[in-house]
Amino acid sequence: MEAAARVIARRGVRGLRVEELAAEAGVSTALIYYHFKDRAGILRRTLEFISDRAERYTSERETPARPPDPRRELEQTLLLELQDEPVVRENSTAWGELRANAVFDPELREDLAKATLIWVQEIAELLGRVSPMSPAASLAASAERLTALLEGLSMRWLSGILPLTRARTLLLEAVAVELARLDRE
């Protein structure tokens, strides 16, 4: 799965060739087809893999002497998606490639929508810890705006349009705006 994420990040979904994936993974093409059946299976499992990997690097943090306050935990979780680390760059690039391809692939679109919903729900839960009196619908809307912004900022950063420090600043400002909005409701 790491090889699939690397190839998709490097070549895009349309540039994914099973032969190149097999070479990258150090296995035969027959083994790839045995495990994944077809290209759609490869894409589906790669999407699951990068979602799981993102979950690990956004939730596995050093354990501080005392737990972070809920707002700080929310900010850290979002900011961990904007790290200049190879695995984060690869994950974010592969996610963007899969998202772009979903425009033309209804099956992938459905899988991407599920993965996005899980991510939005996780952020809504973190927002709820910061603003526990906010209605669930408001938390979900704020989470959706923040995750959409984060995806856009990530793509701008990865493509060199936006410096990483500026992307992180804009994200933190958006968190402040969303929390202020929730406080008013």
Rounded to 5 degrees, φ, ψ at 44 are: -60, -50
Q: What spatial distance separates the first Cα and last Cα of the chain, rounded to whole Å?
A: 43
The pLDDT of residue 82 is 95
Q: What is the pTM for the complete model shown?
A: 0.85
Residue with tokens 């952020």: 123
How far apart, in whole angstroms, are the C-alpha atoms of residue 178 and residue 162? Answer: 22
CB atoms within 10 A of CB 133: 8
The yes-or-no verdict on residue 61 having pLDDT over 70 is no
In tens, the pLDDT along 119-174 reads 999 999 999 999 999 999 999 999 999 999 999 999 999 999 999 999 999 999 99
> Could you tell me the two tokens for 43?
């894409």
